[in-house]
Amino acid sequence: MFPMNTPPPPVGVPPAAVPAIPNFQCPARPNHGSEGRHILLRANHFQVRMPKGVIHHYDISISPDKCPRRVNREIIETMVLSYSQKIFAGQKPVFDGRKNLYSRDPLPIGREKVELEVTLPGEGKDRVFKVAIKWVAQVSLFALEEALEGRTHQIPFEAIQALDVVMRHLPSMTYTPVGRSFFSPPVDYDHPLGGGREVWFGFHQSVRPSQWKMMLNIDVSATAFYKSQPVIEFMCEVLDIQNIQEQRRPLTDSQRVKFTKEIKGLKVEITHCGTMKRKYRVCNVTRRPAQTQSFPLQLESGQTVECTVAKYFLERYKMKLQFPHLPCLQVGQEQKHTYLPLEVCNIVGGQRCIKKLTDMQTSTMIKATARSAPDREREINNLVHKADFNNDPFLQTFGVSVSQVMVECQGRILTAPKILYGGRTKAQAVPNQGVWDMRGKQFYSGIEIRVWAIACFAPQRTVREDALRNFTQQLQRISNDAGMPVTGQPCFCKYATGPDQVEPMFRYLKNTFQGLQLIVVVLPGKTPVYAEVKRVGDILCGLATQCVQAKNVNRTSPQTLSNLCLKINVKLGGINNILLPSVRPHLFHEPVIFLGADITHPPAGDRYRPSIAAIVGSMDAHPSRYSAQVRVQQHRQEIIQDLSTMVKELLIQFYKSTRFKPTRIIFYRDGVSEGQFAQVLTSELRAVREACMKLEVGYQPGITFIVVQKRHHTRLFCADRKDQIGRSGNIPAGTTVDAGITHPTEFDFFLCSHAGIQGTSRPSHYHVLWDDNRFNADELQMLTYQLCHTYVRCTRSVSIPAPAYYAHLVAFRARYHLVEKDHDSDPATCSSYTGEGSHHSGGNGEEGHNTTALTRAVTVHPDTCKVMYFA
């Protein structure tokens, strides 16, 4: 606890109670920044000219409901045509595919609910729907204009939503919508990803308010879709079968499991009924082949007999199956027992792949989609040209038009901070384009490594002893130069195989060698050993571990070894470098703690595994050392549930490390989308205040709460070619924009703090949700930029502030801590404690026990807690 020698609480604050917090409102922008050299930029935002007056909003309900949006759109389109004389005379209403319809003029139906009947011609038989329309409200565009011009603080969400629906109505009819993007099947290009997947290109479109005007944000995007192809070919791609004719035996269990995992949930269409290509969703793959898989067949006489799928197809469709030894797809509802042979099914086109891509697919995807900044700018301009917004009849009806040119905006290039090293020379590094190097410099505080071990999990034929010896010598040379002397030979150097040997070996090492500081673990590529090394090292034994790939041991490079040293030094409690104290903002004159927070969710399609919340807090004034807190929480929960306790722990540790209580808390929160701002702010700001009050009555440090967003579609381009940097032609590191494309009244800015190497740089977006510390724009932008230079794993400025990055690393490491020993090493694909594995929790009774087991599994050993084990 904090010592109690503090002044009494300010008058009017009830002791020990959390101050009553009104409904939080984001602070207004204090001013615009002025630091840094000016640069003229273009952003992929296009000005939207809006009509005056009102738009009429109607509620739609369609029965039978549960139709996909695509069908709903067809129903409404047919309705508008069918009732064009009676109701929609000359009107072109727009529809969002669910419940909302907007028209420019009021429809002649008054305020009462009206029911209309709509018939869609179907395959085989027509389908009849009932559509109920009811007036909801008038949406005022004047209120939006007031907000854009800064005369009112609240932006009218319903006006923006209406405008968004107007803008999306036509593309939603012509393309395949995915989230806020639109895609169309590949024409003139082909980018297979393997495993039955391919790349589709498309574009992102969203309406955004900015100062004085509405903007349309347009960006190129790409995503993975399943190829439209016969299921047999899909299976061959998934299972790496080169020639289906050679597959004359049934699938093995492991093949079937792999195939099931990929095809489950996908839509297929049948090919054996002529033009009637009925579609089904796959719910499973049968264990038995088509020649023995049977189902209850009802005969004309009314009696039921068991019949095999192969026999049924022969008798009913006169089809002798080519592949009777392959399994069937079970489609529709599980209990209905509908089976289809693979050979009569095709994968339906236009299905987006939400499952995680493999490493190989991800790398292919990046290669296919990376575009230099000038290329991307050209592609976006072509898109806007092709979209031809101003000839869109729906936009014309509503009186909306879109500018054809990107908006120009003023940016500023902030000055990078100098970086201070230690040793005898106390050398300073000056970042150039976001990069500096360590040659001729020594760590600010380097650790001397006396007792260390090597465990090689790569086989001896791959990594020979002389390679290990050479690696050790080279590592010692580089580490000595860096001021982290590794003295003498390792106290232990042995080969090992498989994850089972990790725990006994580490326990032996810990008990045998007093003061063991580090275990260097050599790994043979991607392996389950990694997760086990981290579980045993971080959680069970409290030993520092550094993994290194076999290929980097066999072929050492100064760059790789130097990067290893950066990580090893901080894992042992050293400090690599610090910001030059004289360049830091005034804020550092008093004790301040920097917190970074992030939540990682399990991959799409996973319904059980927990989300992981992580927070790190700075533990010195540089700030360079950080301590971590991590928790498992409810699946896909977006708010950090145990935040108050986590922050309290970090504040206590800060006090133990520095003997100061922070007078300010700067909280960088990653992983929050705009729709969650209010919810996250209300709950998490309250939790941070509560943590302070729990420590000491009246302890109220100023809190600044900043959301960091990387998942957005704003891109910035140099207006002048002379400003472009490097081969990718990106904007310079340090480019900041806080006008023109930012929020009309709130405190937000874009900052591209890193040098773009490949593709187009994505500037990070910062939005201040709360600020007791009354930062002005320059102070906060500069502070944020400087913190991007304090990330220990490389000598470059990174794209988000170090504390936010560390929180991400901590959460990611906790995923590995949850991996079961006997599984795959990738935390995204393996079953963890709550995956589909044997530990799957049953009823509610097990939930509590389960959470306890999970919490134990991510709780870091007290010795590990003191250092940056996650680096």
β-strands 702-709, 764-771: how paired?
antiparallel
Among 488, 435, 491, which Cα is nearest to 755's? 435
Structure tokens that stand for 622 in this block: 């540089």
Q: Which helix (H) or strand (E) holds 452?
A: strand 452-456
- What pLDDT shows up at residue 850? 81
Structure tokens that stand for 480 in this block: 């000595």
> Which residue type is seen at 244?
I
Structure tokens that stand for 293 in this block: 């898989």
- With vertex at residue 734, the alpha carbon angle to CA 728 and CA 739, rounded to the nearest 5 degrees, is 105
| pLDDT tens, position by position, 314-354 | 999 999 999 999 999 999 999 998 999 999 999 999 999 99
DSSP-derived 3-state class of residue 346: strand
- What pLDDT shows up at residue 1? 52
- Give the HSE-up count for residue 761: Cα atoms under 13 Å, Cβ half-sphere: 32
Radius of gyration (C-alpha) of the chain in whole angstroms: 31
Q: In whole angstroms, give the CA distance from residue 358 to residue 387.
A: 33
Among 389, 414, 487, 368, which Cα is nearest to 777's? 414
Is residue 187 within 8 Å of residue 180, measured between CB atoms? Answer: no
| pLDDT tens, position by position, 376-389 | 999 999 999 999 99
Q: Which residues of 132-169 are buried (b: 16+ CB within 10 A; e: fewer)?
A: ebbbbeebbbebbbbbbeeeeeebbebbbbbbbbbbbb
Q: Which helix (H) or strand (E) holds 46?
A: strand 45-49
- What pLDDT shows up at residue 89? 87
- What pLDDT shows up at residue 606? 83
The dihedrals phi and psi of 778, each to the nearest 5 degrees, come to: -60, -45
- What pLDDT shows up at residue 604? 80
Within 10 angstroms of residue 99's Cβ, the number of other Cβ atoms is 14
- What pLDDT shows up at residue 825? 54
pTM, two decimals, is 0.92
- What pLDDT shows up at residue 121? 87
20 to 12, 361, 648, 678, 812: CA distances (angstroms): 11, 51, 20, 17, 35
Torsion-angle region of 150 (φ positive above 0: left; ψ -120 to 50: alpha; else: beta): left
The DSSP secondary-structure symbol of 675 reads G
| pLDDT tens, position by position, 739-761 | 999 999 999 999 999 999 999 99
Among 232, 226, 228, which Cα is nearest to 342's? 232
Q: In whole angstroms, give the CA distance from residue 538 to residue 143.
A: 55
> Which residue type is seen at 403?
S
- What pLDDT shows up at residue 846? 42
Q: Which residues of 374-388 are buried (b: 16+ CB within 10 A; e: fewer)?
A: bebbeebbebbeebe
- With vertex at residue 612, the alpha carbon angle to CA 610 and CA 613, rounded to the nearest 5 degrees, is 140
Q: Which residues of the chain have pLDDT under 70?
A: 1-22, 123-124, 821-849
Bridge partners (DSSP) of residue 422 are: 442
Q: Is 728 exposed, middle or buried (0-12, 13-18, 19+ CB in 10 A)?
A: buried
